[in-house]
Amino acid sequence: MSEHFDLITIGGGSGGVAASRRAAAHGARVALIESDALGGTCVHRGCVPKKLMMYAGQFRSAFDTAAAFGWTMENEQFHMETWQDAKNAELERLDKIYQQMLQSANVELINGLAQITGRGRVRVGARELSCTHLLIATGGRPSAAPIAGLEHAATSEDMLNSRTVPRRMAVVGAGYIGMEFASIFSRLGSEVSVFFRDHSPLRGFDHDLRIRLSQALERAGLTLYAGSNMESLTRSGNGYLLQVRGKEPMAFDAVLNATGRIPNTENLGLQSIGLELGPGAAIPVNDYSATVVPGVYAVGDVTNRKNLTPLAIAEGRAFADTVFGGLDIPFQATEVATAVFTEPSIGTVGLTENDAAQQGALIIYEADFRPMATAFAQRSDRTYMKLVVDAASDRVLGIHMIGNDAPEIIQSLAVSLRAGVTKRQFDQTIAIHPTTAEEFVLMREPARRVPAGKTTFPP
């Protein structure tokens, strides 16, 4: 005889946990099934350990700058194994917190692999479960581009679990994962080369950010191979040989496959309920996270909509409030702020210049400068800020920044963008001096005007 639940959630990542807790708060009987540690990709294989590693890398710049401010710095050394042990202890602490949250919310946690066996039926080991509603929140995993031998490369998870810093490291792919790891390991001491097909890294971001990130990383000593056609990767002793069309094979101690991620939809038993997958093996859903199969929903990276942890959480809560809370909350990911934790870091919200120009004429405002601390230390690091403004309404359509603290600054400005802020309101805001963020309210003269429909930069 099966145990019945109002909701069974498969996947204990950010979206699954958020949805389960919210559904239980509405009075639902909820079971959450997870075969690994709680927290999913973000906590164990992504956001959290990556940013902890980023902090470790940032000390290099801090040490380099400290001397200009009167500090004597000698014999600085980084020990990856020490960082690794501390990171693992922190992730274990977070896993326990997730367990406590589910217990406090009266969500039953079931450890094991879930197998969907039919409409409203799930098996976990010897347990047969049934449910009124099923939520799939199984996340994603690294994919591999069709490059011979790339399956031998390390994934981002492998690099986060490494106990050594490679002397020579190649990164294949220039999305945000590739650029973040390239930046981090360069700061930790690796000689880093990045290979990608496009003209600049971070496809889909505003062109001015992409160009300035390339310039900053090259100043920091990274080598960027734009327009590369990777042909093969082979093992060579304890290292690798990467073959790029038109070049001699290049040797590396480590190679990171950062060519993208795909949804975790294999071996779930989706065929038993007649759920067909969409492009890229993603689960198609509507604005309510509902699939075409009645009673079956999906949130987070498994839907491959916009793969960000806060979005998965918001999707999960909107689902629970609608299905169990009696509310009507469709979820649409608009005006979502995004950060890239490179050095310098990037923060962005709203439309790029190219995308905004398709909606009407624009006025572009820019600031490009050396912040006080770097200027004082006679360093070349720069900060760039950009406002994309609708010429007809004066409304700000996009806010972009690359430089120290960009994610923190853009997070605050994202609120104003969603509220419909105008450039005049930026101008009327009194600056806090001396700060970097004040430059956003001090831009007075337009950098350029863009006619409607004009594509200023290559895509």
Handedness of CA 133, 114, 307, 20 (dihedral sign): positive
Tokens of 427: 């101008």
**Residue (of 286, 290, 292, 287) closest to 273 by Cα position:** 292
Going along the chain from its start, the domains and CATH numbers come out as: 3-141+262-323 (3.50.50.60), 150-259 (3.50.50.60), 338-450 (3.30.390.30)
Q: List the end-to-end C-alpha distance of the chain, in Å, as a whole number.
A: 57
pLDDT digits (tens, 9 = 90+) for 286-344: 999 999 999 999 999 999 998 899 999 999 999 999 999 999 999 888 889 999 999 99
pLDDT-based confidence at residue 455 (cuts at 50, 70, 90): confident
pLDDT digits (tens, 9 = 90+) for 172-190: 999 999 999 999 999 999 9
pLDDT at 333: 82
Q: Is it the case that residue 271 has pLDDT exceeding 70?
A: yes
pLDDT-based confidence at residue 92 (cuts at 50, 70, 90): very high
Sheet of 396-402, strand order: 338-340, 346-350, 396-402, 383-390, 362-369, 448-450
pLDDT digits (tens, 9 = 90+) for 335-380: 899 999 999 999 999 999 999 999 999 999 999 999 999 999 998 8
Give the distance, in angstroms, between the CA of residue 46 and the centroid of all CA atoms in the same chain: 8
pLDDT digits (tens, 9 = 90+) for 123-141: 999 999 999 999 999 999 9
pLDDT digits (tens, 9 = 90+) for 412-444: 999 999 999 999 999 999 999 999 999 999 999
Q: 133 catalytic, yes or no?
A: no
Contact 35, 113 (CB under 8 A): yes
pLDDT digits (tens, 9 = 90+) for 238-253: 999 999 999 999 999 9
Mean pLDDT of the chain: 95
Q: Is it the case that residue 1 has pLDDT exceeding 70?
A: no
Tokens of 354: 């190219």
What average pLDDT score do residues 267-271 get?
95
Question: 143: which residues sit within 8 A by CB, 6+ positions away?
Answer: 259, 260, 261, 262
Least confident of 35-49, 107-121, 355-369: 35-49
Give SS3 for 315: helix
What average pLDDT score do residues 44-62 get?
93
The overall pTM is greater than 0.85: yes
What average pLDDT score do residues 83-100 get?
96
pLDDT at 334: 83
Side chain identity at 55, as an amino acid letter?
Y
Contact 410, 392 (CB under 8 A): no
pLDDT at 177: 95
pLDDT at 80: 96
Contact 364, 352 (CB under 8 A): no
Tokens of 270: 């989706």
Instruction: Give residue for tokens 């429909």.
Output: 453
Q: Is it the case that residue 95 has pLDDT exceeding 80?
A: yes
pLDDT digits (tens, 9 = 90+) for 208-238: 999 999 999 999 999 999 999 999 999 999 9
Give the distance, in angstroms, between the CA of residue 376 and the centroid of all CA atoms in the same chain: 33
Q: What percent of the chain has pLDDT over 90?
A: 90
pLDDT-based confidence at residue 2 (cuts at 50, 70, 90): low
Q: Which of 44, 79, 199, 433 is catalytic?
A: 433
Strand-strand pairing, 261-263 and 338-340: unpaired
